[in-house]
Chain A
Amino acid sequence: MSLLAEPLVAILLTGMLVGTSAALLGSFLVLRGNSMLADAISHSILFGIAVAWLLSGQTSGPVQIAGAALSGVLAVFLIETLTRTRRLRDDAATGLVFPALFSAGVVLINVTARDVHLDEHTVLLGEVGFVWLDTVTVAGVELPRAMLATGVMLLLDAAFVLAFYKALKLATFDPDLARALGLAPGIIFYAHLALVSGTAVAAFDAVGVVLFITFVVVPPATAYLLTRRLLPMIVLAMLIAALSAPLGYALAIALNVSIGGSMALANGPFLLLAYGWRRWRQQRHSARAMATQSGSPSA
């Protein structure tokens, strides 16, 4: 057995790969004010996973991941279409689309995939504890399938962000200027969400789709409170996500609970600490402002 297929290494590495890629893409979602799209996408891919499974009998593999990821993009497209009819606000459109796709996925699985590997609980919750059981051999190295999938997604995500960093940044900050300068923010937007979707599909084996949202939103939100530059924010977010994986793993072993769940939960203390630090600084700041005010002769 190769080192990468050792259970401990496999679990930790897969968790960290999921976390860092989610935090990387999530930073732009949080800044754009679209955090709930992560929620919508990660629920909606259940439909795609179910359909991909129905058609191919598989849930992993590049074609399956790309196909299932399409349903996340489909969800975003449906939300935009519904909003454009001006009969619904975007929040209601979001809340209408993703539960429907998720429900359709559950029903499909209920009807066709009883008693097999795929069930809605796995998709929802994942089980990173078992990733080392399912391995593939690439270039003579045996490694877990989920690790391969999430690793490839991380590379794709990083390549996308590095290559289109400027366009992503401007499309997030000022889409009108991005369009005026010819940087096609609409295409960037969909490409970004397609990657979020693909990463969610690759991650469902490990942490499950709902817990994936935690990694997309919480580390970037935490980093946003701690730094005021974009690049440090992204790096910090990825760092927090990477730290949460081993922390969560330790917690899971100690309490004998879901590893994916506690990896996600381990992001929580970081957010609370950042929030506390912000509040403390605010209060110290206002206290000092009051002190200088009362000390000045004009007051």
Chain B
Amino acid sequence: MPALLTDYTLQTVLLGAVLIGVISGVLGSFAVLRRQSLLGDTLSHAALPGVCIGFMVAGARDLGSIMGGALVTAVAAALMTVAITRHTRLKMDAGLAATLSLGFALGVVLLTWIQSRGGAAQAGLDSFLFGQAAATTRADLYPMLGLVGISLLGVVVLWKPLKLMTFDPTFAAVAGLPVHRLEALLTAMIALAVVTGLQMVGVVLMTAMVIAPGAAARQWCGSLLGMVVLSAVLGAVAGAVGGLASALAPGLSTGPLIVLTATLIALISLLVAPHRGLIPQWYRQRRRRQSTSTDRILGTLYELAREHDDWRYRVEQGAVDAYHGMVTEPQLVALAERGLVTPVDHLPDEGPHWQLTEAGVDHAAAREARQRGRRRSRS
């Protein structure tokens, strides 16, 4: 491993992947929160014609001009989307999908045009589809570093307006912020992030790098700052792990490996994050189910019976579930075993019903009297 880490190519790959993870994590947070996750998809697909144009202009595989070209067509696609949706009845999804697919089609046409005219250097352009980490050179890192620097600076400078716009665009507009211009700027910065990742992750999959780290970080953090920072870290981890894996297993495309890592991180976050995670939530519910005493469920049945002025009132299990926000069948079964409630028949379009027994009414009444007494002595 230490020998690997000193390997020159590997260092380059790792550095590049980390850069991509950081920038797409930071800007992706905004995209995810603003419900614009799929904008990244349109931007990255529409970057393909720019890659080709950049290559044609430079006449060689120069990453700087390729990134420049990609940035131009990506932003042009975003503008086209805005124009289509603002001036016609077409909705955002159709605008995004139309520019995405037409941009990509144009890219494919240009790509094959370059290929048909030959030239050895064109071979590398194919790698922009799925990303090829090994093709990255130390010199390629400088333009990437530049783009990361510019976007991070932009986020720092515009932090407050961006934050306001993300949480409450209407209020931001009322407060006098130039919301349209800020939106355009944010879109351009997301385009920067997409362009940074083109070489290693590729145009097809860069969208996942914009979304997955932000979606993962959202599960852990309640604050925007925390989310952006964590998203950058998770993006970097995904980039490093995926990049390393593709360097160790030649023949595997880099982009898919980075994306699978990022998706895995997002899935794990969805499952285990302390507050929002599904497993902790399930665990909390189970604890609550276990700690909700059978007596309280009996009390609910008792109250329902009183509300309906009928001690023989038949309570539907679903109503008890809805009241407690959980499945109460175990408690009801336990109560039935103690002879306090009994299952009764019901209509075919309803669920199981339960009825208090006489012992149940007595038990519940005694419990309530105890509680009232306790409450009175306290006050």
B-contacting residues of A (Cβ < 8 Å)? 30, 33-36, 38-39, 43, 82, 85, 87-89, 91-92, 94-96, 99-100, 102-104, 106-107, 110-111, 114, 120-121, 124-125, 208, 210-211, 213-214, 216-218, 220-221, 224-225, 251-252, 255-258, 260-262, 264-265, 267-268, 271, 275, 278-279, 282
Contact = CB atoms under 8 A, between A and B. Distances in A.
A114 B251 contact: yes
Contacts of B276: 87
Interface in B167-200: none
Nearest to B209: A99
B45 A210 contact: yes
Contacts of A104: 256, 260
A255 B109 contact: yes
Contacts of A38: 97
Interface in B72-106: 83-84, 87-91, 93-94, 96-98, 100-102, 104-106
A28 to B, nearest CB: 12
B211 A92 contact: yes
A39 B97 contact: yes
A125 B126 CA distance: 11
Interface residues of B, number: 60
B98 A89 contact: no
B105 A268 contact: yes
Contacts, number: 198
Contact of B97 (A36, A82, A211): A36
Contacts of A33: 91, 93-94
Given A103-B255, A103-B256, A275-B83, 10 more contacts: A30-B94, A87-B218, A95-B208, A96-B208, A99-B205, A99-B207, A102-B256, A111-B252, A261-B112, A264-B101
B35 A89 contact: yes
Nearest to A34: B93
Given A102-B256, A103-B260, A210-B104, A96 B211 contact: yes
Contacts of A91: 35-38
B97 A217 contact: yes
Given A114-B251, A271-B102, A106 B130 contact: yes
A288 B204 CA distance: 46
Contact of A257 (B41, B89, B104, B109): B109
Contact of B259 (A89, A100, A124): A100
B108 A260 contact: yes
10 contacts: A87-B218, A92-B35, A106-B256, A124-B129, A210-B204, A214-B104, A221-B94, A257-B116, A260-B108, A282-B87
B239 interface: no
B112 A214 contact: no
B257 interface: yes
A107 B219 contact: no
